[in-house]
Chains A and B, each alone.
Chain A
């Protein structure tokens, strides 16, 4: 089973709202990722968690706050977003970040619209 699940599927929020995106995997993977994808563009890495610790932050604005409560869950807390933050937010997981030859498996994404 190579399934990564994400909720919600769609989200509309105002610039003053606080919301959270959720990601879950039950493959025993120890690395989890957040990506942002704009239309007709490749995914852009935002954060990497390895063994529940944040290992990479790709200079993402602080209005995006990741959290890894346990090895199966990954959250992305959103606050005071801008309309340009509207995008597809993808979660991915892999067996182990410390190996460079790891396949990342993606979830279906959350389509976010900021008004």
Chain B
């Protein structure tokens, strides 16, 4: 079945270090992936996306890597800051053309000062 999962429910990093948040997906037909950041009491905030014709995409301090061979997605955050503390969700579009996103369970990133 379709599922998107994250390997670790909680990730704790030191301020200034790089963070890597992982996500596994099972639907090989998915061709669009999104990372969202959700701070406490707020809605999910779009961070970065990637289409299946790409392996890597960079934004400001963030990089998303897509490995279609092993169905793996990762979000790298450079020089992690306290403001990066949040829950991070990956999402995929699945095999249907309905606009329905399939979300992973989320990883909580804790940044230690």
Residues of B within 8 A of A107 (CB): 43
Residues of A within 8 A of B104 (CB): 42
With the chains together, A42 CA to B93 CA distance in Å?
15
Total contacting residues, chain B, CB less than 8 A: 25
With the chains together, A69 CA to B46 CA distance in Å?
26
With the chains together, A33 CA to B44 CA distance in Å?
13
Interface SS of B by simple majority? loop
| CB of B113 within 8 Å of the partner chain | no
- Of A31, A48, A102, A106, which contacts B44 at CB under 8 A? A106
Residues of B within 8 A of A94 (CB): 99
Total contacting residues, chain A, CB less than 8 A: 31
With the chains together, A106 CA to B35 CA distance in Å?
13
- Of A2, A56, A100, A101, which contacts B46 at CB under 8 A? A2
Q: A40-B87, A97-B98, A100-B98 are in contact. List 16 more A-B contacts (CB 8 A).
A: A4-B43, A31-B99, A41-B105, A43-B103, A48-B98, A90-B43, A100-B96, A103-B34, A103-B49, A104-B34, A104-B101, A106-B45, A106-B46, A108-B43, A109-B42, A109-B43
